[in-house]
Structure 1
Amino acid sequence: MTKLITKSKLGLLVCTAVFVCNSCATNPVTGKRDISFVSKQQEIAMGQQADPEVISQFGLYPNEALQRFINQKGQQMVAVSHRKDLKYEFKIVDSPVINAFAVPGGYVYFTRGIMAHFNNEAQFAGVLGHEIGHIAARHSARQQSKSMLAQLGLVVGMVVSPELAQFGDAAQQSLALLFLKFGRDDERESDRLGVEYSTKIGYDANYMADFFRTLQRQQEQSEAEPIPDFLSTHPNPADRYETVKELAADWQQKTKATNLQVNRNSFLKLIDGIVYGEDPRQGFVEANVFYHPELKFQFPVPTGWAYQNSPQQFQMAEKEGKAMMALTLVPGKTLEEAAQQMLQKYQLQVVENQKITVNGLPALAIVADQKPQEDPQQQQQQQQQTPAVRTLTYLFQYNSNIYSLMGISLEANFNTYFATFQNTMQRFRALTDPALLNRQAERVRVKTIAKTTTLAQALRQYHVTDKRLTEMAILNGMELNDQVTAGSLIKVVQK
């Protein structure tokens, strides 16, 4: 039976059609119209909001030569890309994780971890083109339009309940843009663009395919969390390798490119001395104790708790997500002033507080509950929907800083975790052990091979232990039985 369409319904259909059409944007890469509810101005605003959070979360890697290098190559590649209408920024962040990522608005980040694992400029250029490709093809904007925000990969995002996660300063929504999971079609398109862009600026894109094998080997060897990277949502690595090789051949034929660059030696010399793995100067955990050599303090981590270190805070979380602790710096000249800042920031209401001394340090212990919503109309609904949160916080005055070590749980669980919170907080103390204070980071060291031999034999000559041979082979993008010729360069890791 046919139904008549009323005038009001017809108007609604027309409005909907106009809205959808107005929400379409031409994809710079394909030239096709995509449905997108994110404008160029919104993309730029998203990137501008995310960028300071990225830098706060990871920190910039303090190497001017490397920062100049990524910016120079990035701007060179933008000039041949499909999208030149953005102001791009390229940065290397101080993280050991092997990763590269882009956010809307033209912001591209490489970790020092991925820089250490490249073995020539051509590998680097292929991945750089891949990330620029995500921006050029508006992949991040499309994902945001579909509301496909992923977890942050922090302890707060991984394990704790939403009521507790609000206390994780780093868990900002815009920072979640870093962890958008692109679909396989988007990844294939970015691989294709990586090949195209790197070829156009004169690099041999075959080496981009080789780096994917390094990533796969690294993930297979890793005993930690999977790499939050190119692999989790990407095409099968073997298929991807072959596809990129074919794309490289096609683009070399299209551009009639000759004398394509690899630049192995110059790149290895550029990364010589780069920090490898965790940097103990930024704090490290050993035998369930967190040590910070630069700030000169230590405290225990509860047995079995997950933890995450970042420049602005150290988080610990009980693995069932029922409790967490976080150490942060708090502004203020006195403990009382710092306490007011903290209470206001988290909207906490003091239950009790006491001035104490902890291992010779002036401290303030505070039990506080989260304040209810100020809006009377929302207050009853909020109290019904959200369980009450209770906190135990110790504020310490030490070396001109004030530190907050806060334990957080639902009020119903607070007594269960009170002793754990207190045990950690009452063992906050000055770090005085010279061996821990002087702990140095491992660094990539580039060595020249004296005579032709196998990689395994060459690594042993530089005192690489047997248990680290495979790790060093992956770092070099080689197999242990590969021949290395006299005069060639390899990477080893030393302090």
Structure 2
Amino acid sequence: MRKHFVYSLATSVFLLFNSCATNPVTGKRDISLVSEEQEIAMGLEADPQIVAQYGLVQNPTLQKFIQEKGQQMAAVSHRPNLKYEFKIVDSPILNAFAVPGGYVYFTRGIMAHFNSEAQFAGVLGHEIGHITARHSAQQQSKSILTQGVLLGGMIAFPELAELGDVASQGASLLFLKFGRDDERQSDELGVEYSTKIGYDASHMADFFQTLQRQSAQSGQGEIPEWQSTHPNPANRYSTVHQLADQWKQKTNATNLKEGRDSYLRMIDGLIYGEDPKQGFVENNTFYHPELKFQFPVPTGWNIQNTPQQVQMAPKDGKALLFLRLAQGTSLETAAQQMLQANQLQAIESKQVTVNGLPALAVIAQQSTQQQQQAQQQQAAPIQALSYFIQYGGNIYNITGVSAATDFNNYFQSFSAVAQNFRQLTDQEKINRKPEVVRIKTVKAAGTLTQVLRTFSVPDKRLEEMAILNGMQLTDRVEAKTLIKVIEK
């Protein structure tokens, strides 16, 4: 067995050296088990799923802006041959991300927090950098190889099986290191690419302060750098400023653009935070104004709302509860299709009414085959409570899932949500308007606190607005300066 392992390891090494490709950014040979064609295929497959999950922001001006700047930057990148796509997705979270093959996404949440074209351009270059440096392909290749080595080690030396979790955790920390290296390299590329299309990359560094402050205000705290896939924002701030200075000297660039006022005018009217028409939570109740329904959210449970489904889970992660539209023209066919799709079998089913609405309640468990597979993997079989409710021309599926051993503990929470699904009639909830970013011109100079108060910003939101504007409340703001406030 040990000889077999040594032979397998030698074979792996041979394959490793024959699975290298030249990195477009560094010019060095990297491990690569993912071809460019596969990267493109991954992007083509992921893009419609991402758009379906989040939806696109219906703002032609901003969508045109990100496409134009993205294509301009792609042309000066290390992989101009790819067919790039740039999109703003309809999510309030502060994020930007890239998918292999040339797909880049910005949320409206991060668009609201930029304070200049230069800040946006720096982050755009950073995301393009992930694609040009083939970071996703490298991570996948390293993951495949490490999993193979770990698995091979456990087969050859059974005593290592007991340490499998520890070994996997070690590999995860190793990949976190790779992640930080990737982020640093993407920061460098963000500076390079944004400078090459005429922007002052030092403003990208300023945006890291916004990220740090927003994270602290949301209660996320600061993750130790060695446990994070992103470098510490304070460290990134200093490094990016240095890189920006270096690229200015390298390119002899003068009159690099910030584009503050032009950017702020573009985002005037952008929805800020949750969009009520997509559903919102208030006092432990979820309301959907457009579809006109409501249901309770279990106390203390986390909730995630996307166009495809509403998903809830307790903090211990031992259960999952979701609401989504069911397939099928009747309650029975909808239930049948859901059970088949998830390889579940009904053990109890009955016709019920939910607040006057026709419904079907089903208790289900994994199929015999699935249970056997779970036992082989030493995993607990799962059990589910599903309600299929007919309302407003749709069939809604509310399903709660947990391990069979925990099912009784969560049954009341599952059934309380489903049995309290009802029509939304409260006109105040139905007509709830979103908050939007409004761009105001400062009339008289003063501190940011004084200026914000002239626009009736309540004291409890002063720090939030300071972060949104990338300023401190004590900063002096001159007359005729443009600033952001939030209004209904």
TM-score band by shorter chain is 0.7 to 0.9
The one of 438, 446, 449 equivalent to 2:439 is 446
Residue 471 of structure 2: aligned partner: 478
**1:60–1:92 Cα contact (<8 Å) kept:** yes
The one of 217, 220, 230 equivalent to 2:216 is 220
**2:31–2:142 Cα contact (<8 Å) kept:** no
Deviation string 1:170-223 (CA, Å, 9 cap, x unpaired) is xxxxxxxxx998532222211111111001001111111111111111112212
**1:143–1:180 Cα contact (<8 Å) kept:** no
SS in 2 for 1:68: helix
Residue 54 of structure 1: aligned partner: 50
**1:315–1:324 Cα contact (<8 Å) kept:** yes
Q: What's the offset of the Cα at 1:91?
A: 0.8
Amino acid at match of 1:268: L
The one of 185, 188, 198 equivalent to 2:194 is 198
Q: What's the offset of the Cα at 1:323?
A: 2.1
Residue 435 of structure 1: aligned partner: 428
In 1, the alpha carbon distance for the partners of 2:70 and 2:38 equals 22
Pick which of 297-306 and 111-120 moved more: 297-306
In 2, the alpha carbon distance for the partners of 1:11 and 1:411 equals 43
In 2, the alpha carbon distance for the partners of 1:191 and 1:197 equals 10
1:115 and 2:111 matched:
yes
Change (3 A) 1:367 1:10: closer
In 2, the alpha carbon distance for the partners of 1:219 and 1:85 equals 36
In 1, the alpha carbon distance for the partners of 2:325 and 2:102 equals 31
1:335 and 2:331 matched:
yes
Change (3 A) 1:226 1:108: farther
**2:97–2:105 Cα contact (<8 Å) kept:** yes
The one of 365, 372, 384 equivalent to 2:368 is 372
1:84 and 2:80 matched:
yes
Residue 37 of structure 1: aligned partner: 33
SS in 2 for 1:110: strand
The 5 Å alignment of 1:97-246 reads: 97-147=93-143, 183-223=179-219, 232-246=228-242
**1:122–1:203 Cα contact (<8 Å) kept:** yes
Amino acid at match of 2:446: T
**2:441–2:482 Cα contact (<8 Å) kept:** yes
In 1, the alpha carbon distance for the partners of 2:289 and 2:374 equals 43
Residue 282 of structure 2: aligned partner: 286
Q: What's the offset of the Cα at 1:18?
A: 4.5
Deviation string 1:21-47 (CA, Å, 9 cap, x unpaired) is 321010111101011111111211222
Q: What's the offset of the Cα at 1:87?
A: 1.1
Deviation string 1:400-434 (CA, Å, 9 cap, x unpaired) is 11100011122222223222222221111000011
Amino acid at match of 1:442: E
**2:357–2:390 Cα contact (<8 Å) kept:** yes
**1:301–1:424 Cα contact (<8 Å) kept:** yes
Q: What's the offset of the Cα at 1:81?
A: 0.5
Change (3 A) 1:55 1:381: closer
1:316 and 2:289 matched:
no
In 2, the alpha carbon distance for the partners of 1:11 and 1:466 equals 69
Change (3 A) 1:298 1:250: same
Which runs of 5 or more residues in structure 2 are unaligned? 145-174
SS in 1 for 2:236: helix
SS in 2 for 1:278: coil
**2:323–2:398 Cα contact (<8 Å) kept:** yes
In 2, the alpha carbon distance for the partners of 1:210 and 1:477 equals 8
The 5 Å alignment of 1:268-417 reads: 268-373=264-369, 380=372, 382-384=374-376, 385-417=378-410
In 1, the alpha carbon distance for the partners of 2:465 and 2:394 equals 40
Amino acid at match of 1:455: L
Residue 250 of structure 2: aligned partner: 254
Change (3 A) 1:206 1:145: same
Change (3 A) 1:412 1:267: same
Change (3 A) 1:14 1:474: closer
Change (3 A) 1:380 1:480: closer
Q: What's the offset of the Cα at 1:53?
A: 2.1
Amino acid at match of 1:482: D
Deviation string 1:35-65 (CA, Å, 9 cap, x unpaired) is 1111111211222222222222222122121
**1:348–1:371 Cα contact (<8 Å) kept:** yes
In 2, the alpha carbon distance for the partners of 1:413 and 1:343 equals 20
Change (3 A) 1:439 1:226: farther
In 2, the alpha carbon distance for the partners of 1:313 and 1:13 equals 45
Change (3 A) 1:396 1:204: same
**1:349–1:370 Cα contact (<8 Å) kept:** yes
Count of residues in correspondence between the two structures: 454
SS in 1 for 2:405: helix
SS in 1 for 2:436: strand
The percent identity for this pair of structures is 65
In 2, the alpha carbon distance for the partners of 1:181 and 1:238 equals 18
In 2, the alpha carbon distance for the partners of 1:235 and 1:432 equals 48
SS in 1 for 2:406: helix
In 1, the alpha carbon distance for the partners of 2:181 and 2:372 equals 47
In 1, the alpha carbon distance for the partners of 2:326 and 2:368 equals 23
**1:140–1:180 Cα contact (<8 Å) kept:** no
In 1, the alpha carbon distance for the partners of 2:25 and 2:441 equals 43
In 2, the alpha carbon distance for the partners of 1:475 and 1:232 equals 24
TM-score of the superposed pair, with normalisation by structure 1: 0.86
Amino acid at match of 2:386: T
Residue 3 of structure 1: aligned partner: none
Change (3 A) 1:181 1:419: farther
**2:176–2:229 Cα contact (<8 Å) kept:** no
TM-score of the superposed pair, with normalisation by structure 2: 0.88
